Structure 1
Amino acid sequence: MEDNSRPPASDSAYDVLRARILSGELTPGERLIEQTLAKDLGISRTPVREAIRRLLHEGFVEKGKGYSTRVTDFYEEELTQLFEIRRRLECYAAGRAARMATDKEVAKL
């Protein structure tokens, strides 16, 4: 049987990079270099690339000239608004899921 207890490397890379952006360790405008990040995280470039794509989709990083990627220059107010929108969406989704849950699904919880 295969051990699937560890999350995929791309998820771990995403979590680390996102935390570094939010903490300010990776500063606004800072260029993200896949090879350097992969070496730092002890993984190959592919999971780092996947993590960067996810961060790009979520607005934490942005494409620069050519193939470069940089940390987005967020302002505190923008971050507050983004987190409020996310909170509302997650609350809505949780409420909707709870209303649509079957007795069998509730029993599993």
Structure 2
Amino acid sequence: MIQMKTNDLISLYVSYVETNGGKRRPVLIRKVSAQTVEAYKITSKYKNKSAYIRQQYYPIKEWQAAGLMKPSWVDIGKLYRFPKKGLTFKGIGHLSKRDQNEIADFAIALKSKRKGKN
């Protein structure tokens, strides 16, 4: 079995929040523990989102090297937790060192921007 690790991009089934169902989608692995996998959703839909939503989307600079088919963004607005047991996924690739460093800076900047609003 393929092991997943931090900064891997995988495809797995993600349930919808507002309605029933879901879809298979790419996610960025943030952390893997014995029981759970933490991940951020990846999307190629950016232009139609509101300014508020777009501010929490990190643009993957080296998306082709990461194994993605088209320009994509990581939605760091919500961290998802999945039970590791029984999780079926397909490997896509791995985030480049450049993107790993830049997404970390992006997350820090977003967090401080949000703190400033409260």
Q: Tell me the TM-score normalised to structure 2 length.
A: 0.30
Greater per-residue helix proportion: 1
Greater per-residue strand proportion: 2
